[in-house]
């Protein structure tokens, strides 16, 4: 494609600008995107879409892509949960309601099993001022709507799965939530904890907030991997929360690696829920009296799930 054709495609397809971008490590970004038409009304926990054209360059070191003829003019779109830096530069939990940008927390997928990753290798070329596509619709049922002011709230994630939790955490802290709040995030390496310093500062400021991080591939964790599931089964989670996991007054939010979450399949023969093995958090909590919330089936529950893949 000629530079003029690319310029025309960009101008036709893009409706947003990168307001700022930071890279906690070379495979992780915190990007703020300003849509031309203003930020649509939304609730913490929801997601939007970001997109870039097939014609855009990809960062080196990613699985090669074979473009089919005709693909080069297509726009690649993916869903992204809206994240939030819970503290501002002044060290306060800010009023983010009037902001003209949204924050996203994205990991670079270098290799994928089914097909080469299309969007993230292109997103990691973005810099401040770059143009991109942002979907106008902000959607999702993964919100704090069912939480009462005195309920305990647990945010359990792997990797960038903490994105929607950070925005919901901001909402709880801003509203003076009275129940206990605990965030736990499991990552490969310490450097993958893009919001670590903010979480640590929040635990100093808010007595009802607890933060736990787990790393699985540091030399110190070799041979003794602890996953989110292990935190629950060992009792460590309740210990750090300082309370029991009582289904009557606890909401659990799960986001990230599907194996950590463990969504059951419904058997076509018996209609029973068949959990993947080894157990994910849903199975462990179901055995302790929790129930999955399923908006699509109008089933209310206290385990809330966002499925990234
Ligand atoms: C509702 C929703 C919200 C999402 N929010 C986020 C978010 O806030 N941040 C984010 O980084 N991603 C998020 N994702 C995933 C995102 O949509 C893309 O799939 C991802 O960025 C990879 O895009 P890709 O085109 O490069 O590769 P794809 O072809 O989309 O994915 C290839 C493979 O990469 C792996 N993968 C995808 N996403 C992740 C991830 N986040 N962490 C680890 N491995 C992953 C999976 O194995 C997947 O099959 C979300 C997905 C959904 C459905
Ligand atoms: N993070 C990096 O340093 C890095 C570097 C280069 C590329 N990438 C790319 O980034 C993508 C995402 O990586 P990511 O690290 O953010 O996400 P991820 O692969 O989903 O891993 C996040 C965390 O989930 C853990 N996990 C894996 N299986 C689990 C299970 N059954 N139950 C509970 N927890 C489980 C992982 O532990 P394990 O250690 O056991 O996997 C890790 O601590 C990958 O596709 C990769 O290509 C990441």
What's the CA-to-centroid distance between 29 and ligand 1, angstroms?
A: 13
pLDDT tens, position by position, 167-218? 999 999 999 999 999 999 999 999 999 999 999 999 999 999 999 999 999 9
Among all ligands shown, which has an atom nearest to the Cα of 276? 2
pTM of the model: 0.97
Among all ligands shown, which has an atom nearest to the Cα of 27? 2
Q: Among 213, 216, 218, 263, which is best to mutate for testing ligand 2, by the most ligand atoms less than 8 A from CB?
A: 216
Residue 176 falls inside a structural domain: yes
Q: Specify the pLDDT at position 297.
A: 86
Residue 269 falls inside a structural domain: yes
Report the candidate in 100, 78, 119, 146 with the shortest Cα–Cα distance to residue 302.
Answer: 146
Residue 36 falls inside a structural domain: yes
For the chain, the average pLDDT equals 96
Residue 143 falls inside a structural domain: no
Determine the structural domain holding residue 269 and report its residue range: 152-307
223, pLDDT greater than 90: no
Same-domain status, 11 and 97: yes
Q: Specify the pLDDT at position 295.
A: 85
Same-domain status, 116 and 209: no
Q: Whose CA is nearest to atom 41 of ligand 1?
A: 160
Residue 217 falls inside a structural domain: yes
Give the residue from 77, 101, 134 where a domain finishes: 134
pLDDT tens, position by position, 64-123? 998 888 899 999 999 999 999 999 988 899 998 889 999 999 999 999 999 999 999 999
Structurally, the chain folds into a number of domains equal to 2
Residue 196 falls inside a structural domain: yes
Which residues have CB under 8 Å from 242's CB, separation 6+? 180, 210
């Amino acid at each position: 494609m000629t530079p003029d054709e690319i310029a025309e495609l960009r101008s036709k397809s893009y409706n947003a600008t990168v307001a700022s971008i930071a890279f906690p490590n070379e495979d992780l970004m915190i990007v703020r995107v300003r849509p031309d038409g203003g930020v649509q009304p939304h609730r913490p926990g929801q997601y939007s879409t970001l997109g870039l054209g097939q014609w855009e360059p990809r960062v080196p070191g990613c699985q090669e892509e074979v473009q089919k003829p005709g693909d080069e003019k297509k726009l690649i779109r993916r869903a992204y949960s809206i994240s939030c830096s819970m503290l501002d530069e002044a060290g306060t939990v800010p009023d983010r309601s009037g902001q003209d940008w949204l924050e996203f927390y994205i990991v670079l997928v270098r290799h994928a099993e089914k097909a080469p990753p299309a969007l993230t290798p292109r997103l990691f070329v973005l810099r401040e001022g770059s143009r991109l596509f942002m979907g106008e619709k902000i959607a999702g049922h993964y919100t704090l709507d069912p939480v009462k002011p005195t309920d305990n709230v647990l945010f359990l994630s792997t990797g960038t799965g903490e994105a929607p939790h950070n925005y919901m955490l901001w909402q709880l802290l801003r509203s003076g939530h009275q129940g206990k709040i605990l965030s736990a995030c499991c990552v490969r390496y310490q450097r993958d904890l893009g919001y670590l310093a903010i979480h640590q500062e929040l635990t100093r400021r808010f007595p009802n907030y607890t933060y736990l991080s787990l790393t699985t591939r540091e030399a110190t964790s070799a041979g003794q991997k602890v996953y989110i599931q292990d935190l629950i089964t060992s009792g460590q989670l309740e210990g750090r929360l300082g309370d029991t996991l009582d289904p009557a007054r606890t909401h659990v939010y799960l986001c990230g690696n599907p194996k950590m979450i463990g969504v059951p399949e419904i058997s076509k023969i018996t209609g029973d829920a068949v959990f993947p093995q080894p157990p994910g958090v849903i199975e462990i909590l179901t055995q302790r009296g929790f129930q999955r919330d399923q908006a699509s089936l109008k089933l209310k529950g206290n385990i809330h799930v966002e499925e990234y893949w």
